[in-house]
Amino acid sequence: MRADVVTIFPAYLEPLRLSLVGRAQERGTLDVRTHDLRAWTSDVHRTVDDAPYGGGPGMVMRPEPWDAALLEIAASDPARRPRVVVPTPAGRPFSQRHAEELAREPWLVFCCGRYEGIDSRVIDTWADDEISIGDYVLAGGEVATLVILEAVARLLPGVLGNSASAADDSFSDGLLEAPVYTRPQVWRGAEVPAVLRSGDHAAVARWRRAQALRRTLLRRPDLVEHAELSDADRAVLEA
């Protein structure tokens, strides 16, 4: 997958060199190219913003540098058309399903807005998705792009060491994951649940499912409503 990121703060994307996403880049599974929007300004001050029409606080990102940037990036591979993603608190909520969908795309372009946002005509012209990562406001789209790219990159073929772990994730079955433990068997007086040490794989699976169900009911009852539940699941929830 290729991912282009357009921002006025390219340094914000440096963490993508690290860890799992960094290794995916080294292996050639993912090719992230970060671009400074100011490269597509034409005035001496390299201005990217202006006052909002209609008044109000803050500034709005001017359309011309965005259009020039997106035209040049799109023209770099005329055989394909990138999927253009604009992270914004006014977007549709990001979800694991959304990440799975983006992970199937060969080419993504992220447009990181700052200030009060990007002139809406750029969005209308270019954006395939406007995505919010949650109900709070960040200073710009850069951190949201990091979040979305990490969620997508770990779904790319060969990125996770154990491909079973993506299928096991919280949300992939619509529920939160069960708690996990490692050694020592007793730590600060707290013992690892005996079933996990029993060697009974079916019993472990039943325990994990029950834990996932109870935890989800407690923390995210909205998810339980949409999960596919067996009769055994319903019995756990009613207990």
Q: Annotated binding site for S-adenosyl-L-methionine: which residue ranges?
A: 113, 133-138
Comparing CB distances to ligand 6GU, the nearer of 22 and 89 is 89
Strands 129-132 and 83-93: parallel
Comparing CB distances to ligand 6GU, the nearer of 88 and 216 is 88
| Residue 49 near residue 113 (C-beta atoms within 8 A) | no
Q: How far is the CB of 205 from ligand 6GU (least distance, A)?
A: 36
Q: Catalog residues that contact ligand 6GU under the rule CB under 6 A.
A: 87-89, 91, 131-134, 136-138, 140-141, 144
Q: How far is the CB of 188 from ligand 6GU (least distance, A)?
A: 37
Comparing CB distances to ligand 6GU, the nearer of 9 and 207 is 9
169 is catalytic: yes
Q: How far is the CB of 119 from ligand 6GU (least distance, A)?
A: 16
Q: Which of 10, 89, 173, 215 is catalytic?
A: 89
E strand or H helix at 89: strand 83-93
E strand or H helix at 61: strand 60-61
Q: What 3-state class would DSSP assign to 116?
A: coil
65 is catalytic: no
Q: Which of 36, 130, 150, 169 is catalytic?
A: 169
Q: Which of 67, 116, 150, 177 is catalytic?
A: 116
228 is catalytic: no
For residue 80 the two structure tokens come to 């394909």
User: Which residues on neighbouring strands pair with residue 107, listed in sequence order?
Assistant: 2
Comparing CB distances to ligand 6GU, the nearer of 53 and 136 is 136
Task: Extract the annotated binding site.
Answer: 113, 133-138
Q: How far is the CB of 5 from ligand 6GU (least distance, A)?
A: 13
Strands 2-7 and 31-36: parallel
| Residue 122 near residue 81 (C-beta atoms within 8 A) | no
CA separation for the pair 161, 197 (Å, rounded): 24
Q: How far is the CB of 151 from ligand 6GU (least distance, A)?
A: 13
Amino acid at 54: G
221 is catalytic: no
214-231 b/e (C-beta count within 10 Å ≥ 16 → b): bbbbeebeeebeeeebee
| Residue 141 near residue 111 (C-beta atoms within 8 A) | yes
Comparing CB distances to ligand 6GU, the nearer of 133 and 152 is 133
* Residues annotated as part of the active site: 89, 116, 154, 169
